[in-house]
Each structure stands twice: as C-alpha cells, then as structure tokens.
C-alpha cells in the first residue's frame, strides 16, 4: 500500500512538480547563459555593487566578485533562486500530504483502505520527498552541464555539494508543513507557518554579518547549518547537514503522533 500512496502523491503533484522544475531549469539556464557577459564586464559590475548597501548584498548573497564562477553562483543561483523553488516544492507538497486530503474531503476514502494512519502519512511524505529528489537531480544535472558550457570553472564536486546542501536545508520546513497539516488539517496554515519561518531564518542568517547582536541567534537558522556557500567552495558542513536531517526526523515523528491521535475530518 505504501507504493500506491507514493504513486498517488506523485500523480497528484505531477503538474506542480513539472511547473516548479521547469521554472528552476529555465532560470538556471538563463543565468548561466548570461555569465560570459558578466565575466567580461566584471570590473563594471564590481564598481556597481560597491555602491549598493551592505544589507542588500547580504540578503542577495553577494559575497565574492560576480566575475568569478563561485561569486556568480552564490548571488544568482544559490542566494535566492534555488532556495525559493526547492522550498516551494517541499512545503507545498508536504502541506497537501494529509491536510490537502482533508480539505478535499477524500481522507475518509484513503483511511477506508487497509492501511494505518502512520503508513499513510509516511507514504505521502515519501511522495513529497521523491518530488524534491527529482527536481534536485535535474537541477544538479543542468547546473553541471551548464557551468561547463559557460566556463564557470567550479569543480563538479563543489557544485553537487551545494546542490545537496540546498536540498537538505528545505527538509525541516517540509517536515514542519507536514506537522502543522497533521495537527490542524488546514493546508493554508500548513503552508503559511513554514514559509514564514523560512523567511525569518533566511533573513537572520543573511543579516548576521551586519550585526553583532544577531550572531548568537544564527544557530537557530537552518540556512546557517546548511552552509551552502561553504559547500560551493569545497568545504561542506557535514555536521550541520546531519543535524538538519535529525531535526527533520523529529518533526516527522511529531507529525505521525499528531495524525494518529487527532480526529480527522471526513
């Protein structure tokens, strides 16, 4: 039955997965196609960026010269684009896992099958994870091929490390969407809570370099522990990534417990 649940989730989310995937692939391809022009005009871009406020550069992850492959990817791909798409896919699909079925009044049909609530939730969660994995693999493939063509001169291992870190950092937010959905049965709330928390912790991590008072709080940000920028320079934070997986597991366990005990709307 778990296989059927995963298949159902993939089928239900097919349009969304294709849409998010095409948006990411097209955007990354466009950014990579522009890179040779940016590299040729690197001095002009550096002078322009020098005039921008530090807060702007922090939020949009402008840390190195956009003329370098790493600096360009940090600002144009991993600073905002990749997190936005991967968060959208993961949170959206996790929120629909159980809350979407309740909202559509189809949960009673699923529960009429010989399957426990735990297996149902985990099967739906696995479907959402599979969607994320599909888009992540396609994202990584496009980035590796495109960077080679564009002459970014970034090692493939570093590119894949950054892609992996970008996927792992969204998992706790997806698990939170699963938990809120299991607790409330409201897909809108299951989206709003993790999206709000993702925005808050993203800004916390981005603005930390600008404020000494924020530094002690950056440990609360999953983006700090994912350290995508470090992964892109060949120094991934494996401990931080492992910690995010543990947090994800705890949130999923909480979602299972909540879904088992709550009276589900038919």
User: What is the spatial distance between Cα 265 and Cα 124, in angstroms, rounded to a whole number?
Assistant: 18
Taking the C-alpha atoms of residue 218 and residue 117, their distance in angstroms, rounded to an integer, is 36
For 25-44, write each residue's pLDDT tens digit: 999 999 888 888 877 666 55
Q: What's the pLDDT at 143?
A: 93
Which is nearest to 73 in space by CA: 149, 135, 143? Answer: 143
The pLDDT tens digits of the residues spanning 92-139 come to 999 998 888 888 888 877 877 778 889 889 998 999 999 999 999 999
- Asked if 69 contacts 230 with a C-beta cutoff of 8 angstroms, the reply is no
Confidence of residue 223 (pLDDT cuts 50, 70, 90): very high
Residue 31 forms part of a structural domain: yes
Whether 109 maps to a domain, the answer reads yes
pLDDT score of 213 = 80
Buried b / exposed e along 32-50 (16+ C-beta atoms within 10 A): beebeebbeeeeebeeebe
pLDDT of the residue at 10: 83
**Is 127 a member of any domain?**
yes
Residue 251 vs residue 43, higher pLDDT? 251
**Nearest to residue 191, comparing CAs of 82, 84, 94, 85?**
94
* Containing structural domain, residue 45: 2-261
Residue 191: inside a domain: yes
> Does residue 266 form part of some domain?
no
How much is the average pLDDT of 204-208?
A: 84
Mean model confidence pLDDT for the chain: 86
- pLDDT band of residue 208 (cuts 50, 70, 90) is confident
Label residue 210 by pLDDT band (50, 70, 90): confident
Q: What pLDDT, on the 0 to 100 scale, is given for residue 207?
A: 81
d(CA 189, CA 102): 13
Q: Residue 258: pLDDT above 80?
A: yes
Determine, yes or no, domain membership for 37: yes
Helices and strands in the chain, H and E counts: 14, 0
Looking at the structure of the chain, the number of domains it has is: 1
């Amino acid at each position: 039955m778990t296989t059927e649940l995963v298949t159902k989730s993939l089928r239900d989310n097919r349009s969304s997965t294709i849409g998010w995937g095409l948006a990411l692939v097209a955007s990354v391809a466009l950014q990579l196609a522009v890179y040779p022009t940016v590299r040729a005009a690197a001095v002009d871009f550096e002078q322009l960026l020098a005039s921008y406020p530090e807060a702007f550069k922090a939020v949009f992850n402008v840390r190195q010269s956009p003329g370098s492959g790493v600096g360009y990817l940090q600002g144009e791909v991993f600073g905002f684009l990749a997190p936005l798409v991967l968060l959208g896919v993961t949170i959206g699909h996790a929120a629909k896992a159980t809350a979407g079925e309740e909202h559509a009044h189809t949960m009673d049909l699923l529960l009429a099958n010989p399957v426990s609530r735990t297996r149902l939730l985990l099967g739906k969660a696995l479907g959402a994870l599979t969607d994320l994995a599909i888009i992540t693999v396609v994202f990584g493939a496009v980035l590796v091929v495109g960077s080679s063509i564009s002459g970014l001169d970034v090692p493939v291992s570093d590119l894949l490390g950054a892609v992996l870190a970008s996927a792992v950092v969204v998992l706790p937010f997806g698990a939170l969407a699963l938990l809120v959905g299991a607790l409330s049965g409201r897909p809108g709330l299951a989206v709003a809570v993790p999206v709000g928390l993702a925005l808050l912790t993203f800004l916390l991590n981005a603005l930390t370099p600008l404020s000494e008072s924020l530094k002690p709080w950056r440990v609360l940000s999953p983006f700090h522990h994912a350290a995508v920028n470090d992964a892109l320079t060949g120094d991934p934070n494996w401990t931080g990534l492992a910690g995010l997986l543990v947090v994800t597991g705890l949130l999923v366990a909480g979602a299972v417990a909540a879904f088992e005990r709550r009276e589900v709307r038919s």
